Structure 1
């Protein structure tokens, strides 16, 4: 045997010193640490070799990401929907305001036109009334001066009281029509 091999077999010899152990307790701790590290390494290798497990983990990760993206897309769609609703509401209010202003403008123009027509009608009515009054006065003067004396009081009474004169005239007209239609035999 060589010197190094002999030293490695001796208790408390060179092999224990090479590892850096100071005693059996330290050696046991180093062995436990090495076993733990070896176990971790074996687990890592087993994980790398477990294709199904890695595929499941990757699928679960993708599902989580897809779920997060779905939530984000739904949130974005809801936000866009609210934004469009606000824009449509604003546009509706704008159109309503413009229509209201246009309606008020038309109403003002119609009111103004109505006043103009009313003024013209009023002036026309006053003009016609003035003409009728003048014509009535002219006829009165003619009736007073142009009618012979025996009929003058009757004409003046008819001018002063037109209703009874109209009723009497209608009655006389009725009598004339009946007499003409049904002559005596």
Structure 2
């Protein structure tokens, strides 16, 4: 017998009260065992965290795609506005050249690539001539 039971303090006053205390203690013990089992279930916790991360990643992907689409539309609108502004303010020969480039973009791209290659080649030759500086 414990000291409390021997003194009669904190103990049950009868068999019914003792049964109730035992049931409450069993309930608390069951809850504690469930909590410990959940903490010990490393695989289950890892699966739950992985599912949370997948959900968050999916939400972020949707948000990023939406932002990218919105940015693309904004850039397209700005480019259209700039094109219209240049089209109306540019001298006639420039307008004619731009309109021809829009109708036939492949030669414009080839010419642009050739010009870019020429700039790169000129920089390489200049660096070699100046001793790599």
Do both proteins adopt the same fold according to a TM-score greater than 0.5, normalized to the shorter chain?
A: yes
Query: In 1, Cα distance between the equivalents of 2:43 and 2:17?
Result: 41
1:45 aligns with one of 22, 36, 46:
36
Which protein is bigger by CA-based radius of gyration? Answer: 1
- TM (norm. structure 1) is 0.42
Q: Compute the displacement of 1:22 (Å).
A: 5.2
Q: CA deviation at 1:79?
A: 1.6
Are 1:82 and 2:73 counterparts? yes
RMSD after superposition: 2.8
How far is the alpha carbon of 1:64 from its aligned partner? Answer: 0.9
User: For this pair of structures, how many residues does the alignment match?
Assistant: 92
State the partner residue of 1:160.
none
Equivalent of residue 69 in structure 1, options 53, 60, 66: 60
* Cα distance change on mapping 1:84 and 1:7 into 2, 3 Å: closer
Query: Is 2:5 the counterpart of 1:8?
Result: yes
| Pairwise CA distance, 1:33 | 2.7
For 2:67 and 2:4, the matched residues in 1 are separated by 74
Q: Give unmatched runs, 5+ long, in structure 1.
A: 104-185
- Alignment deviations for residues 31-60 of structure 1 (CA, whole Å, 9 cap, x no partner): 333222222211111111111111111111
Moved over 3 A (4+): 4-9, 21-30
Q: Secondary structure at the match of 1:44?
A: helix
User: Which residue does the alignment assign to 2:47?
Assistant: 56
Shift of 1:95: 1.4
- The structural deviation recorded for 1:92 is 1.6
**How far did 1:24 drift?**
4.4
Instruction: Check 1:7–1:73 CA distance in 2 against 1; reply closer, same or farther (3 A cut).
Output: closer
